[in-house]
Amino acid sequence: MIKTRITEMFGVETPLIMGGMTGVGYARLVAAVANAGALGFITAHHSNNKQELLEEIELCRSLTDKPFGVNLTLLPSLNKIPYDEYREAIIESGIKIVETAGRNPTDHLPAFKEAGVKVIHKCTSVRHAVTAVRHGVDIVSIDGFECAGHPGEDDVGLIVLLPATVDALGDVPVIASGGMADGRSLAAALMLGADGVNMGTRFMATQECAIHENVKKKIVENTERDTLLTNRTLRNTSRVARNAVSEEVVAIQQDSTKTIEDVRHLVAGVRGRTNVMGAGDTDGGIWTVGQSQGLIHDIPTCQELVANIMRQAEQVLSKNAQRVVVSA
């Protein structure tokens, strides 16, 4: 059994976390993750208002008596996002763990602190992690360049970014994110100073995840080379699955004069949610996935996945303690 500050702080059985994912982080999957002994996050953006988020939280509570949290990704948007309503729903429902991403959650922290809510903030650089802690977040989830979605603009892999963040933050717990998919990932992250690991792509390829089976099979089929980076010239980099649409976007953006308007019809989120996640056309739109898909070879239940990861991590740690001898 592996215990860390993360397991002790949140009362979970394992230091495994499924962060919020658009189109993925619904109550039924989060409950399955929680029942397996890991920590899952409902994605607040799936709800249109406070009441819908309250209902999603209540649904999750009806399916598990284990801890879970809510993800609040703070990004600029053409359409107003009801962040204040989300915050109110989180506090009123008694949720005690929030994962934030995007900009620093400075305007939400006072209310969360008053309500006893612990805040995990996801960052992509050491300097942003230091700033987040200065503003009052409790834990940092540091996202390496391998991750799905937005890896930032520094292009630093987790094997450097993680220990650099641990060194910079002192006693603040750090979660390793980006490229994490199995027990070896967990063992390596622990050795580099993390108190847990965050996995997104790995939990997409589980039986309880409510995305189309074609997407899950594609993740298993793909290798670590089957992702592309879009929006590099816009300095809003996204790591997405390599497919017909993402290849077209990258080709268009070879011309640095192109703007978001030149690819808006291709990168629209509705295409990914409807055509890909819903209908199973893996070439039907942009969809995010990490390089960790190169380590994913099956579609287990969440219970099986968590058990297998923990078993492998314990075996790796034990085996290497015997294999590597440190002499005086």
Distance of CA 158 to the CA centre of its chain: 14
User: Residue 138 in contact with residue 118, Cβ under 8 Å?
Assistant: yes
Q: Which amino acid is at 214?
A: N
- How far does CA 4 lie from the centroid of its chain? 19
The predicted structure's pLDDT at residue 328:
66
Element (H, E) at 175: strand 174-177
pLDDT value at residue 327: 66
**What is the pTM (predicted TM-score) of this model?**
0.94
Give the per-residue pLDDT at 322.
Answer: 75
Boundaries of every domain in the chain: 5-210+300-323, 213-291
pLDDT at residue 32, as a whole number: 98
Measure the CA–CA gap between 182 and 124, rounded to whole angstroms: 21
Instruction: Give the other-Cβ count within 10 Å of 79's Cβ.
Output: 4
Distance in angstroms (rounded) separating the CA atoms of residues 203 and 286: 19
Structure confidence at residue 187 (pLDDT) = 97
Q: H or E element: which one contains 174? A: strand 174-177
Residues of the chain with pLDDT under 50: none
Give dist(CA 246, CA 290) in Å, integer.
14
The neighbouring-strand residues paired with 41 are: 69
**What is the maximum alpha-carbon separation in the chain?**
63
Architecture field, domain 5-210+300-323 = Alpha-Beta Barrel (3.20)
Provide the 3-class DSSP secondary structure of residue 282. coil
Task: Provide the 10 A C-beta neighbour count for residue 171.
Answer: 5
pLDDT at 269: 81
Contact 121, 104 (CB under 8 A): yes
Residue 256 is predicted with a pLDDT of 87
In this structure, the number of other CB atoms found within 10 A of the CB of residue 323 comes to 8
> Do 38 and 12 contact (CB within 8 A), yes or no?
yes
Return all residues near 290 (Cβ < 8 A) that are at least 6 apart: 146, 147, 148, 149, 178, 179, 200, 201, 227, 239
- Token pair, residue 49, equals 């208002």
